[in-house]
Structures are given as structure tokens and as C-alpha cells.
Amino acid sequence: MKKKNLQLMGAILFSLLLFTNCSKEQITLNRLAGDWTYSKIAVFGIQLDLVALNYKDATLHFDLCDDAAARCTASQSLNGMVSNFQYDITNKGATINLYNNNEIIHNYNIKSVNKNELIYSDTIASGIVAEFTLTR
């Protein structure tokens, strides 16, 4: 009886270690998976008009990505045009790098991501930072 209890406790402990041993990059990938809609763009804390910026009905879709070491796939829909891209997550889940032909073409800072909201930022000009908010 004690041997079975020890085996069961060992299996539970192993499962917990496996579950909590996800890298921050993988946790971010898991949270990104799915569809997102742009809800706000702000510069200097001032909310900008999404329609004027051609972000009306703009969406991002991140495919499920099980390997934090691999390039993942995603798409952006903007004004009816869909663009596919590859990306990876680095810097302990704080940076998303976009790729074209295996070269980084841009990176963004992930400020926060949870199951309902994604906030990332981009330096759009000398020290001017735009903050993008997306929701599910």
C-alpha cells in the first residue's frame, strides 16, 4: 500500500513539475493562440481613431504553436487584406519577432497578454511609442 502511494505521489509530483516547467516564451505562445481584434491604439496615452488609421475590423490570428524554439505562423487581416507571417517569442515572453525569408523584419514589445487582452508596443519614430490593444 505504501509503495502504491509513493508511486502515485511521484507521478503527481512529476506532472506538476512538467506543468510548471513551461518557459515564459511557451506560456506567451499558449496565451497568444487564437483570434484577436484591435480595440485601441494609443500614442502618448491618447487614443487614436481606428477607422482613420485603417484598423477598422483589423484582426490578428495566431496559430497554436507547441514549440517555443520554432517559428510559429500567424496572420493579420487589415482592410480585407490578409498577410501571413512567421514569428517567435523571445526575451522571456516580452518580445515578438516577425520574420520574412528567415530574417527578422520587425519586433514588438509585449506589455501584457492574458486570455482576453493583448497589449503590445512599437517605437514608430524617434522615441514615439504606439501601444496596441487587442481583445478576444
CA distances from 54 to 58, 84, 93, 135 (A): 8, 18, 28, 17
Alpha-carbon gap, residue 76 to 96, rounded angstroms? 14
Q: Of 68, 57, 130, which Cα lies nearest the Cα of 97? A: 68
- pLDDT tens-digit series, residues 89-136: 999 999 999 998 889 999 999 999 999 999 999 999 898 999 999 999
Note the pLDDT of residue 22: 87
For the cut 90, the answer to whether the pLDDT of residue 4 exceeds it is no
DSSP 66: -
Reported pTM: 0.82
Note the pLDDT of residue 3: 65
Note the pLDDT of residue 46: 96
Note the pLDDT of residue 56: 85
Domains plus CATH for the chain? 23-135 (2.40.128.20)
For the cut 90, the answer to whether the pLDDT of residue 6 exceeds it is no
Note the pLDDT of residue 15: 46
- pLDDT tens-digit series, residues 12-66: 544 444 444 689 999 999 999 999 999 999 999 999 999 999 898 999 999 999 9
For residue 79, the SS3 value is: coil
Note the pLDDT of residue 89: 97
Note the pLDDT of residue 68: 93
